[in-house]
Amino acid sequence: MTHPLLERLAAGPLLADGAIGTVLYAAGASLDESFDALNLSRPELVLDVHRAYLEAGADLLETNTFGANRFKLEGFGLGGKVREINRKAVRLAREAREISGRTALVAGSVGPTGRTLAPFGTIATEAVRAAFREQIDALLEGGVDLLVLETIGSLDEMVEAVGAAREACDLPIIASMTFAEDGRTIGGSTPQEVAARLLDLGVAAIGANCSVGPQRLLPVAAALVRRVEEENGPGPVVSCMPNAGWPAHVAGRVMYPSSAEYFAGFARRAAETGVRIIGGCCGTTPLHTAAMREALDTWAAGRADVTTTHAEPNGTVARSPTRVLTAPELDLTPAAGPTRLREKLERGEFVVSVEIDPPKGLNPTKALEGAFLLQEAGVDFINVADSPMARVRMSALTLCYLIQHRTGVETILHLTTRDRSLMGLQSELLGAHAVGVRNIIALTGDPPSLGDYPDSSAVYDVDSIGLIRVLERLNNGADSAGASIGRPAGFTIACAVDPTREDLAHEAGRLRAKLEAGAHVVMTQPIYDPSSWTSFLEAYGVERLPVPVLAGILPLQSSKHAEFLHNEVPGITLSDEARERMRLAGPDGRREGVVMAQELLQALRPWVQGVYLMPSFGRYEVAAEVLKVLEREPAGA
């Protein structure tokens, strides 16, 4: 499975963010406190720092967890909060990305333990590796896209960090050492020695960061590039993230001398040298990042073989330097006839849909990039969730419109009765029909108590069954009060069912009422055991339902992800076998999750007419990988 980081690197240099600590300090954080603990005590400040770097053009966003290992946190009396601090940090970084709508990657930052390993020190390598593993597990649980092991001066400690990461997952690793003025690590290793040892560990990038400024660190990066290129085959890239010069204490504050313009020149030289992950460390700010962004874009524009990969702040999706996709002229004539979803199902075709969550902010670029990726993977339809888990997000209808008019892929709109009165529901549906969004899955919706605004008032004038009746009325040309809407609407009506509930008789009764109300297609909650569907059919009293079924499949990422879904997310119940397989998979959880999803898809094929994939953490490439099993099946299977 190709990771998005590797795809992005193949297109050209990736711009990392700068120093989180520098900006936190400038905002008033004290050098005597744990900057990592600010994730809990001042989350809005950390969120603002992430957003500033994204707005400056960063492609890679590091979590505020540089010192969030047990050894470092114990110095502040926070040794028992490793998991809480790291998980919150990932959530803040991911939320900043969603608010901005950018397609940045979230990297889990792992710094040194601050301890000297035996035999020179008193800390056993096992204890150091355990501390790294504890922190990395928490970062993975939060949903990072990759790991950055950074500012580590001892090659032996870096080996332990990489080992802990490899034990925990198969995500890409950036292994970045810190070098002194003499071009050697604190432990005395040369760039060539560092590269030689790390090349054998299978990391995605070998790098140098911190300690010194661009003038001293760029030669180190150049030496790493030369050593990596000697391998004459696919291997890691090189990263370089220097400090903004030597710090000075001015009027009681720590100041760094290197300007944003100076870093723009560094970024160009680094790209010309062959460095592929470029950023800044201590003393660098969003101003430095913005200057490097402009410099890299200008450099790439002069090269035919390089494509910049950052997203435009206005939501424009640029897939290459020459291809900018814009919306076609809108046809304001309401569509007539069945939707493509209805047509495919009536022809007996097997359909594939994948879910995309709307962004939490104003920029839909990341969601649109996901839609393009899924379109290229051959997905038939895209589901758009309606503020899932009762958390505020962009209007699902708006994102459906953007996806359909930017990509041409037909969408399935999730519409909940939680937030809208009976009148509001019908107004929303009339508007959806006018812009061509005519596949609707009728849902009651998660209660507000689950989300960020627990005191928000739910409406629930009707439930999902009542909404289906409203849709059926509209399809007959009238609203719920019997007033004409001009002509019959053309909605395809979907409904949900959870075959993993304990009370299958009650769930079967609810589904029967939904079908009697007028639903055309059934979409299931995530299934992890094919027998759960056959057991539900027995409770319903049929061998097959009278309407097409799309089986819900949510690929698992890790054992911790599986346990979180099973124990903390309403409507998701994993089988014991699925949880045990993820536990046994260990660091290969992502790959095992794909295999399990593919097995489920094949096992359910005889019982369903489509699949509805729900990738976690916005990892649409995982959905594309699951669907490859369909390519391997013989025609007509």
Lowest mean pLDDT among 436-440, 454-458, 512-516: 454-458
pLDDT tens figures, 582-631: 999 999 999 999 999 999 999 999 999 999 999 988 889 999 999 998 87
Q: Which domains are assigned to the chain? A: 4-317 (3.20.20.330), 340-630 (3.20.20.220)
Cβ neighbours around 438 below 10 Å, total: 28
| Secondary element (H or E) of residue 441 | strand 439-443
| Secondary element (H or E) of residue 550 | strand 549-553
Pairing of strands 237-241, 205-209: parallel
Check: CB of residue 628 under 8 Å from CB of residue 597: no
Q: Give the whole-angstrom CA distance, residue 503 versus residue 536.
A: 10
Predicted pLDDT at 211: 81
Predicted pLDDT at 121: 80
Predicted pLDDT at 319: 34
pLDDT of 157 over the 50 cut: yes
pLDDT of 317 over the 50 cut: no
pLDDT of 408 over the 90 cut: yes
Rg for the chain, CA atoms, rounded: 26
Nearest to 422, CA basis, from 478, 480, 469: 480
Q: Is 173 left (phi over 0), alpha (psi -120 to 50) or beta?
A: beta
pTM of the model: 0.81
pLDDT of 328 over the 50 cut: no
Q: What is the 3-state secondary structure (H, E, C) of 503-529?
A: CHHHHHHHHHHHHHHCCCEEEEEECCC
Predicted pLDDT at 477: 93
Check: CB of residue 309 under 8 Å from CB of residue 297: no
pLDDT of 439 over the 50 cut: yes
Lowest mean pLDDT among 60-74, 156-170, 354-368: 354-368
Higher pLDDT, 36 or 328: 36
Predicted pLDDT at 255: 65
Name residue, tokens 């001293």. Answer: 216
Predicted pLDDT at 324: 33
pLDDT confidence of 305, banded at 50, 70, 90?
low
| Percent of the chain scoring above 90 in pLDDT | 75
Task: Output the average pLDDT for the chain.
Answer: 90
Nearest to 562, CA basis, from 597, 533, 536: 597
Predicted pLDDT at 636: 45
Give residues with Cβ within 8 angstroms of 318, minimum separation 6: 311, 312, 324
Report, as an integer, the average pLDDT of 533-562. 95
pLDDT confidence of 455, banded at 50, 70, 90?
confident
pLDDT tens figures, 212-252: 899 999 999 999 999 999 886 778 999 999 999 766 655 56
Predicted pLDDT at 451: 66
Angle formed by the axes of helices 191-199 and 214-229, nearest 10° = 40
pLDDT confidence of 2, banded at 50, 70, 90?
confident
Predicted pLDDT at 333: 54
User: What is the secondary structure of 573-630 as a DSSP string?
Assistant: ---HHHHHHHHHHGGGHHHHHHHHHHHHHHHHTTT-SEEEE--GGG-HHHHHHHTHHH
Report, as an integer, the average pLDDT of 77-101. 94
pLDDT tens figures, 467-523: 999 999 999 999 999 988 888 999 999 999 999 999 999 999 999 999 999 999 999
Report, as an integer, the average pLDDT of 528-556. 95
Tokens of 485: 């809407």
Lowest mean pLDDT among 172-186, 300-314, 374-388: 300-314
| Percent of the chain scoring above 70 in pLDDT | 91
Amino acid at 85: I
Predicted pLDDT at 570: 78
Q: Is 230 helix (H, G, I), strand (E, B) or coil?
A: coil
Predicted pLDDT at 362: 86
